[in-house]
Structure 1
């Protein structure tokens, strides 16, 4: 029997009751680690901060599925749908293993889930046949009759909202959330203020989501485009040597005149051209002309390559020696003529004009071609190439001049027709750099003549689908494209937006046209999407269609200034956009962008979320994702939620960052997911009454999750939650209580939430959030301590002991320490961390690492009972007599007698948590555990 319309209208959603965050984290992390192998990245690798498709799927299904009276069964069905069950995992493992190893799949299935995921294919990489076994179980539990995700989603949507569910994302970015919603079978509305974001979202639906017929047509058109561009360039004769070789990469560098020597010096950060091919650049002085000739040379050994690693630009200085004896070193700042005028940084660079595209002869920074990599198809295969690096010849320079003349002749015409940019670079946080460091004032100045020529031809002939390929070419083929001398094929050029900073370079790679075509002839992944999807460009607060689910990832505290850097691409289309996007505003509209963490951001967010709330049914759900960066984030979010007429019903924490980000020094970041509903009642309370209500809610929430976790473990499965997850659930319970009220202590919370912040002053909302968080944290009392004992401890002691438990559970990622330090109000948690801590393997210091440090002074842990205890453990490890250790402990511990029982408990606790942990040469938790057992026994047996 089919589900009736609105049968689930008032049922809580599964995501409001449970969410297996540990498994979702493992899956999300796996997807993020795929980097360029992710499904939508090929459309635009320059767009960062993509939320994993698997996480989006979990949020969408979790919002549609009902929470029943049988949470274990609910969890089983959810995991079946997510591809997390044993049978689907077996298929995922088999798909990733070579045929010879498929018999060993069973060995993988007994490993921890995260290790299974590391080996297995991602669910989205396999077709839906991996789910054929799930539908009987799903339909039995839900009362549905589905045989596919679109069928199931439609039936669940009818049961909950009376129709196929409408899902919207008004901060669509690269389209990850709308794409996954459409793939599941939802009706989708996607919008973004930024037209480049909207193009990426459109591409997700119409390129990656195209059916077979449309994809075949696209592939044919891509080949025609490449052939047409290649034909025009070949007619000019500027990319071949007449002997069967075609250019792959041109290497250019900046050249300056050294003010001390009068010599022209090519600026090369390194003289290594290719590590794999052992190619270096030699600088040969030409004394009569006071310049250097550059010879490209193949060497015999890696040692010779290594000897060439230093170039002529070192730590911001130009370094050279024309005669091998006299060595000149001059700062680039001096050459550029940097100076201060009031508070402004200025220099002597000439500002380029609209008609410029190469330096003028009297400019400080000149540009020079110093090497060409050539390629020729191998006769045997015709699909692979021979590569060769060569010095630049007079013929090469003639071809370069021919390109300059060609572009110079047509520049004005191309700009007028909108084929290449003529837009001024507006000043900004990121856009100031090319203006200040090079004098570039228009976006076309970031492209050399060859790059402008290729860009013009692609832009002129590309259809709408191919424009996204054009953007990838522009990203990887401009004056900001780094030459990586260790890449495949002898080296490669990287995208200017690898670091989102618009940095100017001293040397760069310019791709030949054929090397550009890999982006035009992109072999995109294919997922045919059947359901309607509408994409539009407008401010988030201008949404005017009703939707059942809003799933959003707003730009909270976003370090990437998309509203600035995407002008790099907008400049190429703004005069002549594809007809499908002609009604969009082709401008970044910086002033309208919701960004940052300031008052304008908060007001913009309130406006957007209030409008979304008004444009959803009474039983609609919002899923708000954000990355934890700021200590004030909970208060900010509470303000936004209150002012928007919403209330929190659940919160979860999922790890989403990748190792690559961690290696670059960033902290581990996870995604906080808030589940929000409309606030239907006008309830009033007082702060005095909130304490017990919050505590009760936190207790119920945490105990229900712990209970479910225990049931799962008794069935032989891995646990669902760590302490960090329970902490987040506690926060959610506290926020759920708070945001249910419209008036607290007689104050209208919407008015309070909208009140502007005053720097350095806590608002009423801030105080409420602090109170709620502390109440939530205090409930998470470790086993072995009484609540009263736990609350007697200093915040830093509670933090240290709590993190010992986290380490015991394997949750030693840096973000856990950061989150808990904020919750416990520990201001300098880094003082307690091992010097060897890394983002994904952080840990506390053991007693042997503290030694006698921080016993007194300003450190938070100084002069606390725990610090005295840790020093006692250190003394035991050094084989100090136990009687002496106890005497020292009595001296060091304030109020020893009243704290004696608590000290013994802390020692027992440390012994239990440190025992059995994996150690290293420098980290010996078993030794700590042994010392703690000895000390605990000694304290208990001590007679005073």
Structure 2
């Protein structure tokens, strides 16, 4: 047995990618997302697999290693069936069986539909379900399964005996196995640390499966989430129920006060659910006050619109109408009073830039000066003379009706605010004014100033909002202040205060002036602030009444019921931590566009006082100046300081995994230099695709990205090498890595695609590079200070990728012919190879594009939908992109595809041959290449998932023979 860990030798990337995708698609059903907003959480199954991969040894039996790994994750055949929660339909099972068995287990009803015979037993039904289940692909199976984390005690005693026999352990649970593996490797229960803990996936999963967890983050909001993950979700159902009782008590107390005030109930006793506000401003051309909105559709399902009518006083009344006609809806959809940053006056039809209306200007030194006045700390509403003012224009009410059967029915309706509604708005303002100073002093509403920053400048610039409370209107502040006051009155324990804080954060996210109104049928509600990673003020937004905010406040808390063991959560700069961990797993803000430090201040403005009170060992500000952020020399130097410190705080046999978003070679090169300079050595790398349908193919294909796991150990070499000495070693390592992956791969259920082999080339080059103490030709500090991509590390990685591409010749192609194809041609053929293997991940095409240096390939794609991506067939291409000057448009392959299209369309392969002879320059010299391409396309026949190629393959069979026997 070697000293290597499983993850250094192999990793089932295909299955883990699919399980990660399944977890992502659970959306709000994910375990941690319910507790609060954070950006870029990694799937828990990915974390579990990573920890397991680090702790499991690589033995002399790699196939058995893989089987044990999958068994522990319930990703083997038995585990999958235990996770099966959806039943296969009677009809599917009936069609699956042979005639004899159909008669044994089924009968047909009067409509000729199959049903089980009365004599069938439950065991027989289960056996039929299992037999059918075993015929399905992995994707089809997991569609019927719950997630691995949702099954408990799924591994049988017999299976544990098999696991123990292979590993030399005596464990009968995942937790006890982690302890034993840690004892073998480190002499104690393994300690897993994350110094960029963020939303908490890594510490939480480490603790749940039996490791000691260390979590730290510079940001106290992140630490609050981590604390809640480990101290609340780990509790039993009974303990969770007590926290739910607190949520209900707070809600009831707030509801009682609101009803006493009468600020959400109209004269008919109907309760307000939503309030819609818009911004209005004066047209500089005609002096009319114009309400601003991109359109005036309120609800598509209820056919509700807002109609602007001249009020005869240089302004507009806004009339709300339900059940509008199709024509009225069409008019409202196209009626914009704000579009592309310009106000469109509905009186004089002039268009005026909002920067002009705000009176923005440029000073003599070229600096932009923003024209809006800055609001002071005591303000929470606009002044009457402000350039931009807010206006309530619609309320959605709920009424309860008792029908003729005595049942209570609820109906929602929209109305134009009347005088009494406006009086209630004024009452809200008066009530808030009476409490405003007290609420701020006690921390019930924010009082902090918004610091200038990339994202936080937007509300300051475009609205003049200088303090965090100004991102909320009077009604929102009063309601949220009441909730915070009730938390303070009713919470007794640290857990109760924490659950109150998290609930308040959800209310802030779902009820601010940055919450867009969603008019879609079945929605018709305001959305959360952080639909994207920004703080963008809106011209038209929604506000939720308490009834509508209830689900945000009373958010679901799920019990995972585990003993988190020893855990530590600290607010600290990663450069100065002194805590030791055996395994550091981190997801650093590398090449990351998310301004965590700025965006989290939105929540921290609400949390500050309670955090200071209940977590006295923590600080309560974002430490923005210390945040590891951005790119460039300073950022890279900060990263070196962080990872040098982590290396110092792990044992000599400790390991690290750095997770980062896979982008281009330059990112790899920079990160490799950072980690190398930190005293770390790359031992392997794996790419996990976690894409979801919200992504798509954009900007030349560089949009949906995978997560790379870069596996590292301490660098202990004292050797120095020269750059030119590395290339032979890199070539050997690339080929060795590809060969070993191919040997390990399951031929019946392939795990690796070409994209994975290409990634192995990246890893192989870095493995060789970082195995030396120094490279004479490389000055790390100098390379990290450069902004261009002409780094020797980039050259090394590109050379490794080229070696891999030349080595990965598709079946049926001559190696020499393959090397003569254009990068675009090789991309297309390798893409077809990927599709043949049943891989539809957009990430795989992006990997091929990066590797071949093909930046623009969107025209080649028939579908760019995540996990349904595929290339166009010859017939789908038809004659598109034939006259263009692009390399692909003029290539031999493109002309072959046109020839196939013509042969299929006209049902005459001679038309295709004529095209090839007439259009391909040097046809006779290119004939062997044409034949190899056509022979390759023939291999797409009789593959279940390649049926869309059927007609073109038929043409290819005929056309290749015509070309093969063509004479002068």
Flag whether TM exceeds 0.5 (same fold): yes
1:243 deviation in Å?
Answer: 4.9
What is residue 359 of structure 2 aligned with on the other side? 337
After superposition, give the CA deviation of every residue in 1:767-818 in whole Å (9 maximum; x if it has no partner): 2222233223322222223444433434333333322322322334433232
Match of 2:760 among 729, 732, 737: 729
The answer to whether the aligner puts 1:937 opposite 2:929 as a matched pair is no
After superposition, give the CA deviation of every residue in 1:865-888 in whole Å (9 maximum; x if it has no partner): 545555555565576998897687
What is residue 604 of structure 1 aligned with on the other side? 638
Deviates more, 1:887-896 or 1:244-253: 887-896
1:596 deviation in Å?
Answer: 3.2
1:729 deviation in Å?
Answer: 2.4
What is residue 5 of structure 1 aligned with on the other side? none
What is residue 478 of structure 1 aligned with on the other side? 512
What is the CA–CA distance in structure 2 between the aligned matches of 1:395 and 1:882, rounded to whole Å?
Answer: 79
The answer to whether the aligner puts 1:522 opposite 2:514 as a matched pair is no
What is the CA–CA distance in structure 2 between the aligned matches of 1:890 and 1:662, rounded to whole Å?
Answer: 38
The answer to whether the aligner puts 1:592 opposite 2:621 as a matched pair is no
Deviates more, 1:215-224 or 1:160-169: 215-224
1:622 deviation in Å?
Answer: 1.0
1:211 deviation in Å?
Answer: 3.3
What is residue 696 of structure 1 aligned with on the other side? 732
What is the CA–CA distance in structure 2 between the aligned matches of 1:331 and 1:790, rounded to whole Å?
Answer: 56
Question: Alignment partner of 1:84: what SS?
Answer: coil
Matches within 5 A, 1:265-280: 265-280=290-305
The answer to whether the aligner puts 1:16 opposite 2:16 as a matched pair is no
Match of 2:680 among 646, 652, 657: 646
The answer to whether the aligner puts 1:357 opposite 2:349 as a matched pair is no
Match of 2:828 among 797, 800, 811: 800
What is residue 839 of structure 2 aligned with on the other side? 811
After superposition, give the CA deviation of every residue in 1:103-129 in whole Å (9 maximum; x if it has no partner): 674334422111221232112233345
Matches within 5 A, 1:236-275: 236-241=261-266, 243-275=268-300
The answer to whether the aligner puts 1:536 opposite 2:564 as a matched pair is no
Deviates more, 1:858-867 or 1:226-235: 858-867
What is the CA–CA distance in structure 1 between the aligned matches of 2:417 and 2:317, rounded to whole Å?
Answer: 10
Q: Is the 8 A contact 1:319 1:327 kept in 2?
A: yes
Matches within 5 A, 1:425-464: 425-462=450-487, 463-464=497-498
Match of 1:171 among 193, 196, 203: 196
What is residue 30 of structure 2 aligned with on the other side? 38
Matches within 5 A, 1:857-876: 859-861=886-888, 865-866=892-893, 869-870=896-897, 873=900, 876=903
What is the CA–CA distance in structure 1 between the aligned matches of 2:512 and 2:285, rounded to whole Å?
Answer: 32
Q: 1:394 to 1:794 in 2, by over 3 A?
A: closer
What is the CA–CA distance in structure 2 between the aligned matches of 1:458 and 1:81, rounded to whole Å?
Answer: 44
What is residue 387 of structure 1 aligned with on the other side? 412
Q: Is the 8 A contact 1:552 1:625 kept in 2?
A: yes
What is residue 72 of structure 1 aligned with on the other side? 63
Deviates more, 1:565-574 or 1:838-847: 838-847
The answer to whether the aligner puts 1:62 opposite 2:53 as a matched pair is yes
Question: Alignment partner of 2:644: what SS?
Answer: helix
What is residue 3 of structure 1 aligned with on the other side? none
Question: Alignment partner of 1:719: what SS?
Answer: coil
Please, what TM-score do these two structures have when normalized by structure 2? 0.87
What is the CA–CA distance in structure 1 between the aligned matches of 2:678 and 2:14, rounded to whole Å?
Answer: 31
What is residue 96 of structure 2 aligned with on the other side? none
Give unpaired runs (5+ residues) of structure 1.
1-7
The answer to whether the aligner puts 1:505 opposite 2:538 as a matched pair is yes
Deviates more, 1:140-149 or 1:432-441: 140-149
1:362 deviation in Å?
Answer: 0.3
What is residue 85 of structure 1 aligned with on the other side? 76
What is the CA–CA distance in structure 1 between the aligned matches of 2:408 and 2:367, rounded to whole Å?
Answer: 55
The answer to whether the aligner puts 1:162 opposite 2:184 as a matched pair is no
After superposition, give the CA deviation of every residue in 1:436-479 in whole Å (9 maximum; x if it has no partner): 22121111110111111122222334322210110000011111
Q: Is the 8 A contact 1:753 1:765 kept in 2?
A: no
Q: Is the 8 A contact 2:662 2:707 kept in 1?
A: yes
What is the CA–CA distance in structure 2 between the aligned matches of 1:382 and 1:58, rounded to whole Å?
Answer: 51
1:898 deviation in Å?
Answer: 5.8
1:914 deviation in Å?
Answer: 6.5
Question: Alignment partner of 1:650: what SS?
Answer: strand
Match of 2:44 among 53, 56, 60: 53
The answer to whether the aligner puts 1:25 opposite 2:17 as a matched pair is yes
Question: Alignment partner of 1:785: what SS?
Answer: coil
Q: Is the 8 A contact 2:283 2:345 kept in 1?
A: no
1:298 deviation in Å?
Answer: 2.8
Matches within 5 A, 1:136-215: 136-215=161-240
Q: Is the 8 A contact 1:557 1:629 kept in 2?
A: no
Q: Is the 8 A contact 2:733 2:765 kept in 1?
A: yes
1:845 deviation in Å?
Answer: 4.9
1:550 deviation in Å?
Answer: 1.1
Q: Is the 8 A contact 2:191 2:583 kept in 1?
A: yes
Question: Alignment partner of 2:232: what SS?
Answer: helix
1:432 deviation in Å?
Answer: 1.9
Q: Is the 8 A contact 2:293 2:540 kept in 1?
A: yes
Match of 1:822 among 831, 834, 850: 850
Match of 1:491 among 520, 524, 530: 524
1:257 deviation in Å?
Answer: 2.6
1:409 deviation in Å?
Answer: 3.1
What is residue 603 of structure 2 aligned with on the other side? 569
What is the CA–CA distance in structure 2 between the aligned matches of 1:866 and 1:298, rounded to whole Å?
Answer: 58
Give unpaired runs (5+ residues) of structure 2.
94-124, 488-496
Q: 1:630 to 1:582 in 2, by over 3 A?
A: farther
Q: 1:471 to 1:861 in 2, by over 3 A?
A: same
What is the CA–CA distance in structure 2 between the aligned matches of 1:267 and 1:257, rounded to whole Å?
Answer: 10
Q: 1:78 to 1:17 in 2, by over 3 A?
A: same
Please, what TM-score do these two structures have when normalized by structure 1? 0.90
Q: 1:616 to 1:42 in 2, by over 3 A?
A: same
After superposition, give the CA deviation of every residue in 1:156-204 in whole Å (9 maximum; x if it has no partner): 1111111100001111110011111111011000111121111111111
Deviates more, 1:924-933 or 1:464-473: 924-933
Q: 1:854 to 1:516 in 2, by over 3 A?
A: closer
What is the CA–CA distance in structure 2 between the aligned matches of 1:823 and 1:603, rounded to whole Å?
Answer: 28
Deviates more, 1:680-689 or 1:360-369: 680-689
What is the CA–CA distance in structure 2 between the aligned matches of 1:301 and 1:124, rounded to whole Å?
Answer: 50
What is residue 223 of structure 1 aligned with on the other side? 248
What is the CA–CA distance in structure 1 between the aligned matches of 2:647 and 2:283, rounded to whole Å?
Answer: 63
After superposition, give the CA deviation of every residue in 1:706-737 in whole Å (9 maximum; x if it has no partner): 22224x52xxxx22222212222233233222
What is the CA–CA distance in structure 1 between the aligned matches of 2:129 and 2:211, rounded to whole Å?
Answer: 35
Q: Is the 8 A contact 2:689 2:841 kept in 1?
A: no
